[in-house]
Amino acid sequence: MSKAIIDDVAARAGVSIKTVSRVVNREQNVRPQTREKVEAAIAELNYRPRHSARSLAANRSFMLGLIYGKPGAHYVLDIQEGVLEICRPHGYELVIHPGEFRDGDLVNEISELILDRRIDGVLLSPPISDHMEAIGLLNEAGIPLVRIAPTIDKDAYPFVETNDLEASFELASVLIGLGHRRIGFITGHPDHRAVGQRFEGYRKALKAHDITFLGELVALGDNLFHAGEEGARQLLSLGNPPTAIFAANDEMAGGVIKASLAMGLRIPQQLSVVGFDDAPISRQVWPSLSTIQQPIRDMAKTATSILLDQLRPGPSDPHPSMHPARLILRESIAKPAKPAA
Partner DNA sequence: ATGAAAGCGCTAACAT
Partner DNA sequence: ATGTTAGCGCTTTCAT
For the CB of residue 159, give the shortest distance to a copy of itself in the complex, in Å.
24
For the CB of residue 30, give the shortest distance to DNA in the complex, in Å.
4
For the CB of residue 262, give the shortest distance to a copy of itself in the complex, in Å.
6
Binding mask 265-284 for a copy of itself (x = CB under 8 A): ---------------xx-xx
Among a copy of itself, DNA, none, what binds residue 25 when CB lies within 5 to 8 Å by partner kind? DNA
**Contact call for residues 135 and 147 (beta carbons, < 8 A):** yes
Q: How many CB atoms lie within 10 A of CB 189?
A: 22
- Report the C-alpha gap between 84 and 3 in whole angstroms: 27
For the CB of residue 168, give the shortest distance to DNA in the complex, in Å.
46
CA dihedral over 233, 237, 242, 243, signed as positive or negative? positive
Of residues 8 through 27, those in contact with DNA by CB under 7 A are 14-19, 21-22, 24-25
For the CB of residue 315, give the shortest distance to a copy of itself in the complex, in Å.
28
Q: Is 117 in the site for DNA (CB under 7 A)?
A: no
According to CB under 7 A, which one of 59, 212, 237, 239 is a site residue for DNA? Answer: 59
According to CB under 8 A, which one of 9, 20, 76, 235 is a site residue for a copy of itself? Answer: 76
According to CB under 7 A, which one of 40, 44, 46, 58 is a site residue for DNA? Answer: 58
According to CB under 7 A, which one of 11, 39, 54, 181 is a site residue for DNA? Answer: 54
Binding mask 77-116 for a copy of itself (x = CB under 8 A): x--xx--x------x-xxxx-x-------------x--xx
CA dihedral over 272, 273, 278, 283, signed as positive or negative? negative
Helix then strand count (H, E) for the chain reads: 13, 11
> Interior CA angle at 179 toward 202 and 257, to 5°?
65
Q: Partners of 328 in the beta sheet?
A: 291
- Report the C-alpha gap between 195 and 249 in whole angstroms: 8
The residue (of 20 and 110) whose beta carbon lies closer to DNA is 20
Phi, psi of 234 (to 5 degrees): -60, -50
Residues 6+ apart with CB under 8 A from 81: 297, 300
Among DNA, a copy of itself, none, what binds residue 216 when CB lies within 5 to 8 Å by partner kind? none
Q: How many CB atoms lie within 10 A of CB 139?
A: 14
For the CB of residue 72, give the shortest distance to DNA in the complex, in Å.
39
Q: Is 40 in the site for a copy of itself (CB under 8 A)?
A: no
**Is residue 146 within a helix (H) or strand (E), and if so which, with residue range?**
strand 145-148
With CA atoms as reference, report the closest residue to 185 among 218, 160, 225, 146: 218
Residues 6+ apart with CB under 8 A from 239: none
Please give the DSSP secondary-structure letter assigned to residue 63.
E
Q: Is 124 in the site for DNA (CB under 7 A)?
A: no
Amino acid at 167: A
- Contacts with a copy of itself by CB under 8 A lie at 1-2, 46, 48-53, 55-56, 61, 63, 73-74, 76-77, 80-81, 84, 91, 93-96, 98, 112, 115-118, 140-141, 225, 251, 254-255, 257-258, 261-262, 280-281, 283-286
- Contacts with DNA by CB under 7 A lie at 5-7, 14-19, 21-22, 24-25, 28-31, 33-35, 47-50, 53-54, 56-59
